[in-house]
Structure 1
């Protein structure tokens, strides 16, 4: 049932986005099986510093983070939004089990294949860990958990994924997240910090072309799942970074005038040099992060930054 709902939403969102002016596609649909594999490669490429920076934070600070979460409750479930391959999260999970603070992990991801992979592989890596994966949109899945009982939670939203929202959208997201938590629950949020503009731009325009392939893969997915007629060779990947606003945006730009059709007869016309807005990766200052947390109704607990001051994980509590 969930897969049918996701497929229906995918078609609806693609039609809405490609019918708009300017055209756009939602970045959450990057993550089919091939998109997942490409993103795992991106995280390992030299230019993509975000993963290494956050991995350092979690490697060095997991025990401190977890101890801070026991101020009100001695044990809790660890829930992750957009879990991906959970490679960084493993530091937290292993420490939580060593400290006997938690042995239940709930990865939530729109990619059913990734959730299935975690459910199968993590218990073998961390014996005794209960993995109860949920495939679907974040908030409907959090609603299920909220209705399942009063167990305290540490909710993770790592990797700078909050940056895929505009700052005004990020406030709305964090307020909604807060509404699904109970007093005493914690949230650990990852934010990419503002830094040298070229370093940021390089992270989304790697020399190996992985980010380009990742963006173009969404056109392949539309072809495969919705009967689209995209030729990815008709588009170029174009990222830009604005150091004033902190917005790093990615576009696919049409190289010629042509039409695209879906299997239901829906038709879209592209002009030469017309862009499709693909995603934003917003970069933040520490002041902006603190203001965001306060406006969303969270109490700041602790801030963790990597040694090169590139990335931060902030721990918030719902009062």
Structure 2
């Protein structure tokens, strides 16, 4: 399989015991700053982006296999059902024209391979460009693609999403951008709008975006997906505290914390929290810093918004996009929205 990567010069920018203090040289400045800012707020918060260390990624793989967690298997079925129509919508009108299929945060590529096989089977002329900030993640994906789809042209890009799109904008041909899964739902509304505007800014009216949206449905089904009976989602949330113990020399005692999730159908937001069950002080040895927690005080760790079709259309409009097609599963649990940049004229 032909594989090339852009050179770095081309890119713009379960224990409850106390661990030994983290070595100062190993402390991530970004993580340290984020933790100090988030836990100093009146309503404490930590970003879900820090869930995904090696253990967090392993736990999320378990979550995706849970009977309560419908999003992954539902989108997989959706893509399988609509693969022909989606493939046709992503490629240029001229079948002889070469285009770029960019994927933001490709992961293991399991769902994407449905579309890749469809495009290869129809002799589409394209290059697959998986984008991630993790070189290791891209290396793993590239190796699996080389084994399974040896004729696929691949150009992995290690970069921030917006940087990668700006870099690719200079290349001739249509850009079809994938942002699958329900990742768009992890943004607060203002951040979501800003993110989409950043994505659309370098695109032309001929380019396309395919974005996954988890739809509103039975509130009990939604809540169960984020608080499963086996406690895997709880372990995923707790892993954030394990990581702070390991990397920042914190002394979180998990016997004094609970996982809590709620769902607000009015806003469409699932919110996840870590709850302190008693008044306690947590030391961060690597930061020479301590945080006081009152009994039943919470740390907000994640949002996951659910959408309506009209809400998707309005979000797209505000970002300078229009919904060209909305692909859904039989139960209308999930949607992959094909978006096109609005003409500015």
TM-score when normalising by structure 1: 0.92
Aligned residues: 316
Residue 99 in structure 1 maps to residue 122 in structure 2: yes
Residue 30 in structure 1 maps to residue 51 in structure 2: yes
**In structure 1, distance between residues paired with 2:214 and 2:295:** 34
- Map 1:42-61 onto structure 2 (within 5 A): 42-61=63-82
Q: Deviations over 1:20-77 (max 9, x none)?
A: 1211111112111111111111111100111111111111112211211234563322
TM-score when normalising by structure 2: 0.85
Structure with greater Cα Rg: 2
Residue 121 in structure 1 maps to residue 162 in structure 2: no
1:18 Cα offset (Å): 1.3
Greater mean alpha carbon deviation, residues 291-300 or residues 308-317 = 291-300
1:270 Cα offset (Å): 1.4
Which of the numbers 196, 219, 228 marks the counterpart of 1:197?
Answer: 219
Which of the numbers 72, 83, 92 marks the counterpart of 1:62?
Answer: 83
Q: Which gives a bigger RCO, structure 1 or 2 (Cα 8 Å, sep 6+)? A: 2
- Map 1:167-186 onto structure 2 (within 5 A): 167-186=189-208
Match of 1:270 in 2: 293
Question: In the alignment, is the contact (CA less than 8 A) between 2:92 and 2:174 conserved in 1?
Answer: no
Q: Secondary structure at the match of 2:206?
A: coil
Gaps spanning 5+ residues in structure 1: where? none
- Map 1:227-266 onto structure 2 (within 5 A): 227-262=249-284, 263-266=286-289
Structure 1 pair 31/141, CA: closer, same or farther in 2 (3 Å)? farther
Greater mean alpha carbon deviation, residues 191-200 or residues 164-173 = 164-173
**In structure 2, distance between residues paired with 1:136 and 1:269:** 37
After superposition, the CA RMSD in angstroms is 2.2
Question: In the alignment, is the contact (CA less than 8 A) between 2:130 and 2:157 conserved in 1?
Answer: yes
Structure 1 pair 135/237, CA: closer, same or farther in 2 (3 Å)? farther
**In structure 2, distance between residues paired with 1:266 and 1:102:** 56
Question: In the alignment, is the contact (CA less than 8 A) between 2:216 and 2:268 conserved in 1?
Answer: yes
Gaps spanning 5+ residues in structure 2: where? 1-7, 14-24
